[in-house]
Amino acid sequence: MAVIEPAEEGSLLRERAPGTTVERIIAATGADLRVASEVPEMRLAPMPAMTGGDATPG
């Protein structure tokens, strides 16, 4: 959901997951977060495709 960095001055919200708002992160954590004026979305790498029998339950 987020990258939160602990620091002496308090926890700092660094990044947020795509589609997640700062308000949702604050509500979900209940933490007193330090928030920059802009919190960028995380850049996530695409998931590799699953192949073979591992992808099918069974």
* Residue 15: pLDDT band with limits 50, 70, 90: very high
7 vs 15, higher pLDDT:
15
| pLDDT tens for each residue of 26-43 | 999 988 899 988 999 998
CB 22 within 8 A of CB 3: no
Domain boundaries, the chain: 1-38
pLDDT of residue 27: 94
Question: Please, where are the H alpha helices in 1-58?
Answer: 22-29
pTM for this one? 0.68
Q: Which two tokens stand for residue 42?
A: 């995380």
